[in-house]
Structure formats: structure tokens, C-alpha cells
Amino acid sequence: MHPTLLFDLDDTLLDTNMESFIPAYFQALSKHLLDRVSPDAMSRALVHGTKLMYENNDFTRTLQEVFETDFYPMLGVSKQDIIEAIEDFYDTIFPKIGGKTRQRPEAAPLIDWALSQGFRVAIATDPLFPRKATYHRMRWAGIDPEKVELTSAFEDFHFTKTYPAYYAEVLGRLGWPEGPVLMVGNDANRDLLPAHRLGLKTYFVDGGSASSPGFEAGRGKLADLRPWLESVDLSTLEPSYKSSDAVVAIMASTPAVLHSLTSSLTAAQWRHEPRHDDWAMNEITCHLRDTEREIHQLQLNLMLEREDAFIPRPDTGVWASERDYLNEDGPSALRAFFAARAESLAKLNNLPSEVWSRRARHAIFGPTNFLEVMGFLADHDRMHVQQAWKTLKQF
């Protein structure tokens, strides 16, 4: 299995210095829109919209939707009236502020080497920028956006690096790859800690011993990463998704991933079966909806009610044909799954640690506990996201 590398962008692959770059960015945008919006209004709207994106944990809303809900009303203009000028800014003005950054000469050769080795590569940058802006920043680093498999941007991501669910969303968008996974970044609090909480191994770029969080698999200069990868036992980079943080992150990410993967599907694509014995997206979504409502919520409620609960596990294998999932409305089923999953997550928020260790008896697996049963749920999510990703790759 080929390893998966997740790379932070700013101050990892590209010397950015956000303290000087962000003011230059805001000033350039304000100047470009000066005939339509006052600089003070623009600054307030940008800061407030960015804050809302940082805080978002709603898997039904992309960060773009979160940002724009308040951004345009705060400006006092409609999106329709100003979007052409904003697009022109990202096409013609934003590329010019690349002078505020500095290319790391080792970055592009490192990405090219990783790709030549068959590694899967994603740019796991905080998705606070539009895709156009992120692609410009990648080019400033000497990296061709078309070469990497995935780049996070605010148009189709739902979480920022504030949450471990961001890293689960990245992996879900990659189809939950099997094998080693390594997150490479320079910020212990945003690149390493949330990834570690999901269960990923991390590499701390430019991390000195005094600032080390202590759990990273490796650290050093960016130029040290290739020899480190060539020498390390890659099997030690296998992720573990067994903690309560990981379980909740995966559960939150699944609706977000499906929201993005299915956003542009036609009715025919919802019903497309790659092979006769494969499930179409309609069937996958209906299965997730009914399993959440009729099995996972039942199991969760039983374990929350008492210690040593017996956990039933009905056979769901016949539901697809018995309930004629193929001919249901996929988007409606997905919305119902979102609602059911939101109910489940609300019950898991801020649970004390003793509940996660509560004993239970599972109909299939025997003696178990709350965390392990919730882990089965997260594994079920990952399996069906893999299935959905493979199905959509057939189009």
C-alpha cells in the first residue's frame, strides 16, 4: 500500500510569514474594491467571516457558505453585484502579492520525488482561501496544483484545522486510504496536534526540541524529510483511529465528505451501479441513513442508559433489496442521514471519560465497551465512504 502524505502549505512548503502576508492581502482586496466598499467595512467583514470559518463545526455547510452568509451583508452589497470584481481580483491582483512569500527550493523536488515513489499527496492547508488563491500559493511554492491528488479549499471543505474532523475530511475525500499516513507541518497546534488527535503520525518541520510537542514521529528541516522517509519503517506510520477524539472526528467528517462528493451528481449518477453487484450512491446513502436511525442510535441510547447493556446488531444485508433503495431519492436520504447523525453527535459531545469506558455486551463481538462500539460505527463510516469514493471514480 502506498503511503499518503498530507502537507501543510504556508511556512512548510512556502515561506509565507502570515503576519505580513495577510495585511497585504486584505489591503490589496480593499483597494481593488474601493469604488464599491469602504476599506473599514471590508476589513471588518473579512475578519468576522474568517472567525466564523474557524469556529464552524456544521458538516452541512461549506466554509464558503459560512463565510458568505455574513460577509456580503456586512459589506452592504449582494454577491451578485460584486462577485465579478472579486473574481477579477483573484485572477489579476492576488498573484502579484506572491512577492510577500519566498519559495523553498526543496519543496517542489520533494513533492515530485514523493509522487515518483507512488505516494499519494494532498495539500492539507487551512481551507480559508478560495481555490484560485490556494492554487496561486502552490505555484509560488513551485508546485503544480494538477499534480497533487487533493487540495483543501473553502468551496468544498467544512472544517478548518481547529478540529481533528478537518483531517478526517481530508482522508475521507481521498477515499480513506489504507496504509501509512503522515501529516507534515510546521505548526504544532494546528498541523500536528489535531492530526495526532485523529490518530495520524506527524512530522514537525523546522521544529526545535524546545518547541516539540513530544508525540511527532519525526522532525527536522523540510530537506530532511526525504531521507527520513527513505530510512523509516513505513509500517510505523500506520494511523490508529481508536480514541474517542478520532471516533467523533470521523463521525462528523462522514456527512461533510458525502456532502462534497455528491454535490454535483445527476439523478442518473445517483442510481449508477459500477457493476451489477455494486451499490449505487442511492443505496449507500439509504443504508447509512437507516443504519444510523435504526441501529447506531439504538446502540448509543442503550449504552448511555446503563452499564453492561446488551447491544443488538440486526442483519442489514437485505435492506437494500427489501426496501428498494435504488429507487429512492438519494439527496433526500442524504439529508435524513445528516439529521440523524447530528442527533448522534449531540449525544457524544462532552461525554465524561468514564462513559467512554462503560462496559457493554455486543451480539457479535461479545464483551466490549462504549468506545469500542463507537469505534465499530466509525469503521462502518470509513468503509462506506471508501465504497462511495470508488463508486464515484467510475463515472
- Per-residue pLDDT of 49-87, as tens digits, reads 999 999 999 999 999 999 999 999 999 999 999 999 999
Give the closest residue to 131 by CA, choosing from 152, 160, 149: 152
pLDDT value at residue 17: 86
Q: Is the pLDDT of residue 340 over 80?
A: yes
Architecture of domain 244-393: Up-down Bundle (1.20)
* Number of neighbours of residue 169 by Cβ within 10 angstroms: 29
Q: What is the pLDDT of residues 241-258, one digit of tens each?
A: 999 999 999 999 999 999
pLDDT value at residue 91: 96
Give the closest residue to 172 by CA, choosing from 394, 393, 384: 384
Q: Under CATH, which number does the domain 4-14+101-237 receive? A: 3.40.50.1000
pLDDT value at residue 18: 86
Residue 106: pLDDT band with limits 50, 70, 90: very high
Q: Is the pLDDT of residue 334 over 90?
A: yes
Q: Is the pLDDT of residue 210 over 80?
A: no
pLDDT value at residue 350: 86
> In sequence order, what DSSP letters do the residues of 30-65 get, joined into one string?
HHHTTTTS-HHHHHHHHHHHHHHHHH---TTS-HHH
Q: Of 50-64, 110-124, 210-224, 289-303, give the lowest mean pLDDT range.
A: 210-224
Q: Is the pLDDT of residue 209 over 80?
A: no
pLDDT value at residue 2: 86
Angle in degrees, 0-180, between the axes of helices 63-75 and 79-88, rounded to the nearest 10: 110
More confident residue, 162 or 211: 162
pLDDT value at residue 103: 96
Q: Of 201-205, 215-219, 249-253, give the lowest mean pLDDT range.
A: 215-219
Give the closest residue to 168 by CA, choosing from 6, 15, 309: 6
More confident residue, 320 or 53: 53
Q: Evaluate whether 166 touches 153 at the Cβ level (below 8 Å).
A: no
Give the closest residue to 141 by CA, choosing from 13, 11, 12, 6: 13
CA distance linking residue 305 with residue 100, whole number of Å: 57
CA distance linking residue 291 with residue 314, whole number of Å: 10
More confident residue, 19 or 184: 184
Give the closest residue to 258 by CA, choosing from 152, 172, 178: 172
Long-range interactions of 219-223: CB distance < 8 A, separation 24+: 222/12, 222/13, 222/104, 222/106, 222/107, 222/110, 223/106, 223/110
Q: Is the pLDDT of residue 296 over 90?
A: yes
